[in-house]
A and B are shown apart, each in its own frame.
Chain A
Amino acid sequence: MPEPILEVRDLVKHYPLTQGILFRRQIGAVKAVDGVSFELRAGETLGIVGESGCGKSTVAKMLVNLERPTAGSIAYKGEDITKLSGRALKAVRRNIQMVFQDPYTSLNPRMTVGDIIGEPFDIHPEVAPKGDRRRKVQELLDVVGLNPEYINRYPHQFSGGQRQRIGIARGLALRPEIIVADEPVSALDVSVQAQVVNLLARLQSEFRLSYVFIAHDLSIVRHISDRVGVMYLGRVVEIGTDTQIYDHPTHPYTQALLSAVPVPDPLARAHRERIILTGDVPSPANPPSGCPFRTRCWKAEERCAKEVPLLAVPEAFRPEGAADPAADRAADRAADPAVEPAAGRTAHPAAHPSACHFAAEKRVVPGPGDLAAPPAPPPVRPDGPDVPGSPSKE
C-alpha cells in the first residue's frame, strides 16, 4: 500500500461567536469542522461530498493552510504542517495547491493570464528563474489545453470553462504533489464540465498528482474518485471506496443523500425508493448532542442523543477474529480493498467505516441491470434493528 502523503487527524475548526463591542465575550462557536480524520495516498483521488455547510470547504482551506485549525493535525509526509511557519511552511505550501470553485471571482480581473499563472513563481523563484517564466507559463497554458498565445489576455476574454483551465494552470505552476479542488466544475455549463473533468484526470496521470476532490455532484465524484468520504455537520460520517459508498452505503445520511440524487433516466422513476429527509441541516453553532444526524434520521433512538457514534467499521460487518477497529487508523485501512482483512477472507463490501450506531446496508442507487427489471427484493440486513417504516414523508 502506498504511504499516505497526507494524514489528517481529528481536525477541528471552530469560529468564535462574540458579543459586545468593547469587551468581546465569546458566547459560542460555529463548529464548522468537528473532528475529521482521513488519509490521502500518493496518486489517489479522495472525493469529499456533503451539502452546503457541512464543512467540506473549511477542510479544503485548512489543507492548503488558508485557515489554521483549532485542533488536530495535518501531516504531510509525516510532518505536521499546522505547526509550521516561515520558510518550512512556504516549502510545504508549494506542494499543496488549490483550485477554486468560481473561475469568475478567483482570477484577478486586472491581471493578464500570464501574470496570474506566473504569480506563484514570484513567491517561489526557485521553481522558475526570471528569464524562464514566460516560457513556463506558455507551457502550462498548453498543458491545460489553452492557446499559449493567449498569455497577454485578461480573464474576462475567456469563457467559464477556459477560466477554470487558467485556475488549474495556476495550481499546477509549482508542480505540486497534491491538488485540493473545491467544487472545480460546479460553476460550469454541463457540456463543459466533462471537458474539465477529463483534463483533471489526464493531469493526474501525467504529473502523478494526488487529488482531494470536493463536490456536491455525486456522479462526478464517483467517476473521478478512488475513495469517497461523506461529510455531515462538520464530521465524516462514512468513508470507503467508491463501490463501498455508492453500492453498499451503511450510514442513513449517505443513503438519503444518494437516494435524493435525480437519476438521469426516466425509467428509473418507477423503481426508485427515495428517502426524503425532513427539515434542514441543524446550525453548526448549536449541533445536536450525540449523533449530528439524529434530528433528521428515521432510525434515531435514545442512544443516538447520548453517544456520539465513532467512525469505525460497524460490528455487524467486521470479519470474525479481526482486531477491534475502534481506532480510526485501523478502520481507515479496512476501507482499502487492496488490504485483505486479517483472516485472509474477502471483506464484506459493507465493511467500511460508518459513524452510525445502527449501521445497516441499504442499496439506493439502481445498478445498470436494475432498471429494466422489476425492483430488486429489499436487501437483507445482516443485523441491526428493523427500520420502523420508511422515513416520514413530511
Chain B
Amino acid sequence: MLLEVRDLHVEFRTRDGVAKAVNGVNYSVAEGETLAVLGESGSGKSVTAQAVMGILDTPPGRIAGGEILFKGKDLLKMKEDERRKIRGAGMAMIFQDALSSLNPVLSVGAQLGEMYEVHRGMSRKAARAKAVELMERVRIPAARERVGDYPHQFSGGMRQRIMIAMALALEPSLIIADEPTTALDVTVQAQVMDLLAELQRELNMGLILITHDLGVVADVADKIAVMYAGRIVESAPVHEIYAAPAHPYTRGLLDSIPRLDQKGQELYAIKGLPPNLLAIPPGCAFNPRCPMARAACRAEVPPLAEVAPDRASACFFWKECVGA
C-alpha cells in the first residue's frame, strides 16, 4: 500500500474550546489508484490531507493520535528534515486556488525551477530548462515564451496547469488534489481533470481527490470515502456507492442531485445544518439530520464496520439504508 492513514485525530485549539476536526480517519491508496474523499466544508477532508502532507498549522492544529504510513513508514514519527525530502519528491499537493497558492512576484519558471534547484541541486539554467519541459508536459501553449511570465498573466485553467506541473516536477508517487477544479468553469474543469487522469496513468501515481462534487467523483474515482464531522461514514468502490449507498448521509447527498424525472417537484433536501465541530452531537454525528435516527444512534457512536468486501459503513442501520 502506498499510503495508509490509521485512526488519525486532529484537533484545533480555538478561543471557544477544542474543535475536533478529524476523529479517527482510516483510508488507504495504492499506486495508480484514485481515492475520492467526499465531504462538505468542515467535514475534515482538507485537514486530513494537510496532516498527510505535513503542512498543518501547528498550533492551533495538533495531531492528537494515529499513524500515517507512507510506503510503510510512519510519517508522524519522522523528523522534519526527513519529511521535507518526502514532500515534493514522494508526495505533492495541488491546491484549489492557484492564484493564491503561487507566488505573485516570482515568474512561474522560477517557481517551477525552484523544485529542481532545492531538491536536485541543479543550476538555475538547467532548472529553467526543466521548467519549460514541465510546462510543455501540462500542455501550456508556447511554454518557452511564457516561462518568464508571472501568475497573473495566465488564465485560471492555465494557472491550475502550472500547479499540476509543480506537483509533478519530482515525479511523486502520490498526489493529493484538494478541490483542484472547484474554482474553474466546467469546460476548463474537463480539460484539467482529463490532463490529471492522463498524467496519473502515465506515472502510475496514487491520487487522493478531495471534493464535494458528486459528478467529478463519479467520473474519475476508483473508490470513495465519504466524510462527515471528522469521520469517514462510508467507504466503498465507486460503482457500489452510487448504486446502493449504505449510509443515510451518502443517500441524502445522492438524492439531492436534481434528476430529470423530478423536474418541477421538490428536491430532496437533507434537513438541518452541518454540525458545529466544537459541539459534535453525541452518538452518531449525523443523527439530528438523519431520517432513520433512533435511540441507539443518540447513545453510541456507530463504528465504521465492514458491510461487504471492500465496503464499510458507520451506520447501525445500513441494511435498511441499502434496501431503502
Is the Cβ of A280 less than 8 Å from the Cβ of B188? yes
Bound state CA distance, A368 and B221, in angstroms?
22
Contact with A along B216-249 (1 / 0, CB 8 A): 1111010000000000000000110010000000
**In the complex, which residues of chain A have a beta carbon less than 8 angstroms from the beta carbon of B158?**
280
Q: Is there a chain B Cβ closer than 8 Å to A30's Cβ?
A: no
B245-273 to A contact mask, C-beta < 8 Å, 1/0? 00000001110111011110011111101
Interface positions, chain B 272-288, Cβ under 8 Å from A, are: 273-274
| Interface contact A222-B263, CB-CB below 8 Å | yes
Closest to B266 in A: A198
> Which B residues are CB-close (under 8 A) to A300?
none
Residues of chain A from 70 to 121 with CB closer than 8 A to chain B in the complex: none
Q: Can you add 16 more A-B contacts, CB < 8 Å, to A191-B256, A266-B239, A274-B190?
A: A161-B273, A190-B40, A198-B266, A198-B267, A201-B266, A202-B266, A222-B263, A242-B263, A260-B187, A261-B215, A264-B214, A264-B218, A264-B242, A266-B218, A266-B219, A266-B242
Bound together, the chains give a CA A233 to CA B32 distance in angstroms of 39
The 5 closest A-B pairs by CB, nearest first: A262-B215, A223-B258, A51-B185, A194-B269, A194-B256
Assess A194 versus B268: contact at CB under 8 Å? Given A189-B40, A219-B257, A219-B258.
yes
B186 touches A191 (CB 8 A): no
When C-beta atoms are compared, the residue in chain A nearest to B289 turns out to be A191
Residues of A within 8 A of B213 (CB): 262
B contacts, CB < 8 Å to A: 40-41, 139, 141, 155-158, 185-191, 193-194, 212-219, 221, 238-239, 242, 252-254, 256-258, 260-263, 266-271, 273-274
Q: Is A263 in contact with chain B by the CB < 8 A criterion?
A: yes
Select which of A216, A264, A279 is within 8 A of B215 by beta carbon.
Answer: A264
Given contacts A189-B274, A198-B266, A223-B262, are A276 and B41 in contact (CB under 8 A)?
no
Q: Among the interface residues A223, A261, A368, which one has the most CB atoms of the partner chain B within 10 A?
A: A223
With A194-B269, A198-B269, A261-B186 known to touch, is A280 a contact of B258 (CB < 8 Å)? no
Q: How many contacting A-B pairs (Cβ < 8 A)?
A: 118
Within 8 Å CB of B274, what residues of A?
Answer: 159, 189, 191-192
Given contacts A194-B256, A201-B266, A260-B186, contact A159 B218 (CB under 8 A): no
Chain B CB within 8 A of A42 CB: no
**Complex: chain B residue closest to A296, CB-CB:** B187
Q: In chain A, residues 245-291, which have Cβ atoms closer than 8 Å to a Cβ of chain B?
A: 256-257, 260-269, 274, 276-281
Contact of A223 among B155, B219, B267, B271 (CB under 8 A): B267
The answer to whether B189 and A260 touch across the interface, beta carbons within 8 angstroms, is: yes
Secondary structure call for the A interface? helix
A-B contact pairs, 11 of them (CB 8 A): A189-B40, A194-B267, A197-B258, A198-B267, A222-B263, A262-B216, A266-B219, A267-B239, A276-B190, A277-B187, A279-B141
Closest to B239 in A: A266
List, in ascending order, chain A residues with CB within 8 A of B267's CB: 194, 197-198, 223
The reply to whether B260 and A368 form a contact with Cβ atoms under 8 Å apart is: yes
- A263–B258 Cα distance when bound, in Å, is 11
Q: Give every chain A residue within 8 A of B141 (Cβ-Cβ).
A: 279
CB distance from A183 to the nearest CB of B (A): 13
What's the nearest-Cβ distance from chain A to residue B293, in Å?
Answer: 16
A346 within 8 A of partner (CB): no
Q: Which A residues contact B (CB, under 8 angstroms)? A: 51-52, 159, 161-162, 189-195, 197-198, 201-202, 216, 218-220, 222-223, 242, 256-257, 260-269, 274, 276-281, 367-368, 394
Residues of B within 8 A of A278 (CB): 191
- Choose from B191, B252, B256 the contact partner of A394 (Cβ within 8 Å): B191
Report Cα–Cα, A220/B221, bound state, in Å: 23
Q: State which of A194, A257, A268 has its C-beta within 8 Å of the C-beta of B186.
A: A257
By a CB distance below 8 angstroms, the chain A residues around B188 are 51, 280
User: Given the complex of chains A and B, what is the CA–CA distance between A193 and B219 in angstroms?
Assistant: 21
The answer to whether A265 touches B256, judged by C-beta atoms less than 8 angstroms apart, is no
How many whole Å from B107's CB to the nearest CB in chain A? 20
Q: Which residues of B contact A394 (CB under 8 A)?
A: 139, 191
Assess whether B242 is in contact with A265, with CB atoms less than 8 Å apart: yes
Q: Is the CB of A257 within 8 A of B260?
A: no
> Smallest CB–CB gap between B228 and chain A, Å?
10
Q: Which residues of B contact A220 (CB under 8 A)?
A: 258
How distant is B14 from chain A, measured CB to nearest CB, in Å? 15
Contact B256 A269 (CB under 8 A): no
CB nearest to B219 among chain A residues: A262
With A189-B41, A277-B187, A394-B191 as known contacts, state yes or no: A268 contacts B256, CB within 8 Å. no
| Chain A minimum-CB-distance residue to B193 | A262
Most chain A CB within a 10 A radius of its CB, from B212, B254, B263: B263
Which residue on B lies nearest to A219, using beta carbons?
B258
Alpha-carbon distance between A367 and B259 when the two chains are bound, in angstroms: 10
Question: With the chains together, A162 CA to B274 CA distance in Å?
Answer: 12
What is the CB-to-nearest-CB distance from A1 to chain B, in angstroms, rounded to a whole number? 19
A218 and B256 in contact (CB under 8 A), knowing A159-B273, A261-B215?
Answer: no
Determine if B256 and A193 form an interchain contact, defined as CB atoms under 8 angstroms apart. yes
Known contacts A189-B40, A216-B185; A367/B260 CB under 8 A = yes
Contact B218 A269 (CB under 8 A): yes
**CB neighbours of B212 from chain A (8 A):** 189-190
Chain A residues closer than 8 Å to B260, beta-carbon distance: 222, 367-368
- Is there contact, CB below 8 Å, between A191 and B270? yes
Given that A51-B185, A198-B266, A222-B258 are known contacts, is A260 also in contact with B218, CB under 8 Å in the complex? no
CA distance A275 to B9 in the complex (A): 43
Closest B residue to A201 using CB positions: B266
Q: How far is the CA of A367 from the CA of B261 in the complex (A)?
A: 10
Specify which of A264, A276, A367 is in contact with B191 (CB 8 Å cutoff).
A276
Question: Are the C-beta atoms of B191 and A269 separated by less than 8 Å?
Answer: no
Contacts of A261 in B (CB 8 A): 186, 215
Please give, as numbers and ranges, the residues of chain A lying within 8 Å of B157 by CB-CB distance: 280
Contacts of A280 in B (CB 8 A): 155, 157-158, 188
When C-beta atoms are compared, the residue in chain B nearest to A191 turns out to be B270
Q: Give the distance in Å from the alpha carbon of A264 to the alpha carbon of B217 in the complex.
A: 7
Q: What chain B residues lie within 8 Å of A268 (beta carbons)?
A: 218
- Residue contact B254 to A264, C-beta cutoff 8 Å: yes
A155 to B127, CA, bound (A): 50
Given the contacts A189-B212, A194-B268, A368 and B252 also touching, CB distance less than 8 Å: no
* Chain B residues within 8 Å of A191, by CB: 40, 252-253, 256, 269-270, 274
Tell whether, in the assembled complex, residue A263 and residue B218 are in contact, meaning their CB atoms are under 8 Å apart.
yes
CA distance in complex: A268, B256 (Å)? 19
Q: Closest Cβ of chain A: how far from B188's Cβ, in Å? A: 7
